[in-house]
Amino acid sequence: MEKQIIKVNGMSCNHCKMSIEKALKEISVNGTVNLEAKTVTVEFDPRKSNLEQIIIEIEDQGYEVEK
Ligand SMILES: [Cu+2]
């Protein structure tokens, strides 16, 4: 499993947290949102998912990923 911490802007409440975590789960990524730190910690199998795909998934939910 690969672990990465992504900086994400625009997450403000539990709804944001849940929608991102749910969207990531759908692409087999274990994501944990930290609202205070404005981060998403992701754990994934690099054979099944990749960071690019994860960023797209988060942006599709309407949030801005800091690159
Ligand atoms: Cu929200």
Q: pLDDT (tens digit, 9 = 90+) per residue, 23-37?
A: 999 999 999 999 999
Query: What separation in Å is there between the alpha carbon of 11 and the centre of ligand 1?
Result: 6
CATH architecture of 2-65: 2-Layer Sandwich (3.30)
DSSP letters along the chain, please? -EEEEEEEE---SHHHHHHHHHHHHHTT-EEEEETTTTEEEEEE-TTT--HHHHHHHHHHTT-EEP-
Query: What confidence category does residue 18 fall into, taking pLDDT thresholds of 50, 70 and 90?
Result: very high
Query: What separation in Å is there between the alpha carbon of 13 and the centre of ligand 1?
Result: 4
Query: What separation in Å is there between the alpha carbon of 44 and the centre of ligand 1?
Result: 24
Query: What separation in Å is there between the alpha carbon of 17 and the centre of ligand 1?
Result: 7
Domain boundaries, the chain: 2-65
Query: What separation in Å is there between the alpha carbon of 47 and the centre of ligand 1?
Result: 31
pTM value? 0.95
